[in-house]
């Protein structure tokens, strides 16, 4: 029997989060927890008696605040709660850059704060925050326009995770867990001793469909928030590493230099590495920035952008956000690639 596909592509690029994997139990939960751990353990606010945020609230900000990186949504949530505190004096910045010194700096700054996490939780309105940020341009651009710059010295979220980036370290220790964190970063976890939320994420795509796609087309995976060891371990654990000819990870981002959301470079680099060289590339993504990146990449080589609805999201609201991106195609689930490509 001959099967006819309706999507004429000779290679396929998938994004890791929300397309290949359902990350509600991992990234969403780790972001929600990391905000509270950072405020309590790093800044030293009085501990709360209940969770400050839910994974659903973290996911809502990410999707409807126009973010394309979970670490940016995490920083935004920390800033949101820090600005609710009274002005906090700035202590002397550490002379030596390492995590213990940065923790001491933060705790010295926050030692006079008496407002606890429970009080901050009573003041939150995450849907309003997401809407305001989206209306101001979305992502970090919208965040800068919406949130004041008070107490920003209490946010340490830049630089190396092993030397200075306290918030990034909190998130990675929570997400990866003690064992995988040690394997990825070459040193033991310092702030959190847990299994890791990464083990709570599930493969979203049917592995049989994924294998059949890999037999038909060369596949690449965009995993810009993952270290290579991390994504290799995850793909091996799910038995699908062999499906991907090319991986574009955080290491490639570091080697290339920083780029802005919606930049086509990761897609063009993935296409450059695929063999044989593609003449028409399909890109399956779940965020407007990734769809915009595919449209921009199309100026260099032919790309077809396929928007896949994230799991568990309000689809009509998500559809409204995608209208401005002008994706070539919208599908309800990445498994629908079976009909589009395999026939």
Q: What is the pLDDT of residues 177-220, one digit of tens each?
A: 999 999 999 999 999 988 999 999 999 999 999 999 999 999 99
Q: What does pTM read for this prediction?
A: 0.93
Residue with tokens 């060289």: 277
CA dihedral 66, 69, 70, 74 (to 10 degrees): -80
% residues pLDDT > 70 (the chain): 98
Beta-carbon count within 10 A of 147 CB: 18
- C-alpha span between 229 and 90 (Å, rounded): 37
User: What are the tokens at 164?
Assistant: 């200075």
Could you give the 3-state DSSP secondary structure of residue 31?
helix
Specify whether the CB–CB gap between 90 and 109 falls below 8 A: yes
Over residues 44-66, mean pLDDT = 95
Residue 316: is it exposed, middle or buried by C-beta count within 10 angstroms (0-12/13-18/19+)? Answer: exposed
| pLDDT computed for residue 218 by the predictor | 97
Strand-strand pairing, 246-249 and 281-285: unpaired
**Where do we find the tokens 């568990």?**
312
For the segment 141-175, what is each residue's pLDDT rounded down to a tens digit? 999 999 998 999 999 999 888 889 999 999 999 99
> How does residue 4 score in pLDDT terms, banded at 50, 70 and 90?
very low
**pLDDT, tens digit, 9 for 90 and up, residues 238-281:** 999 999 999 999 999 888 876 677 899 999 999 999 999 999 99
Domains of the chain (ranges; CATH) run 11-22+202-342 (3.40.50.1000), 24-199 (no CATH)
Least confident of 82-96, 196-210, 262-276, 290-304: 82-96
User: Residue for token digits 């990146």?
Assistant: 293
Sheet holding 11-15, edge to edge: 246-249, 219-223, 11-15, 281-285, 303-308, 329-331
């Amino acid at each position: 029997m001959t099967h006819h596909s309706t999507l004429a592509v000779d290679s396929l690029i998938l994004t890791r989060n929300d397309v290949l994997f359902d990350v509600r139990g991992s990234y969403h939960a780790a972001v929600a927890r990391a905000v509270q751990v950072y405020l309590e353990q790093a800044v030293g606010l009085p501990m709360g008696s209940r969770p400050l945020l839910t994974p659903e609230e973290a996911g809502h900000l990410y999707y409807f605040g126009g973010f394309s990186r979970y670490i940016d949504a995490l920083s935004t949530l920390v800033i949101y709660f820090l600005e609710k505190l009274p002005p906090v004096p700035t202590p002397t910045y550490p002379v030596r850059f390492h995590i213990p010194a940065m923790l001491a700096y933060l705790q010295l700054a926050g030692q006079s704060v008496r407002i606890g996490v429970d009080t901050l939780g009573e003041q939150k309105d995450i849907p309003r925050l997401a809407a305001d940020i989206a209306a101001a341009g979305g992502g970090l651009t919208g965040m800068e326009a919406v949130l004041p710059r008070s107490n920003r010295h209490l946010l340490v979220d830049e630089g190396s995770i092993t030397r200075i980036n306290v918030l990034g370290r909190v998130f990675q220790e929570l997400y990866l867990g003690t064992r995988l964190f040690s394997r990825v970063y070459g040193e033991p976890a310092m702030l959190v001793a847990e299994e890791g939320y990464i083990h709570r994420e599930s493969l979203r795509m049917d592995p049989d469909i994924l294998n059949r796609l890999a037999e038909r087309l060369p596949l690449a995976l965009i995993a810009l928030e993952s270290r290579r060891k991390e994504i290799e371990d995850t793909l091996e654990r799910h038995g699908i590493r062999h499906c991907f000819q090319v991986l574009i990870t955080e290491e490639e981002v570091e080697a290339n230099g920083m780029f802005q959301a919606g930049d086509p470079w990761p897609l063009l680099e993935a296409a450059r590495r695929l063999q044989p060289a593609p003449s028409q590339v399909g890109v399956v993504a779940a965020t407007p920035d990734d769809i915009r990146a595919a449209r921009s990449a199309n100026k260099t080589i032919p790309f077809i952008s396929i928007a896949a609805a994230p799991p568990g999201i309000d689809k009509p609201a998500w559809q409204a956000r995608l209208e401005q991106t002008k994706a070539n195609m919208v599908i309800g689930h990445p498994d629908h690639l079976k009909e589009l490509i395999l026939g």
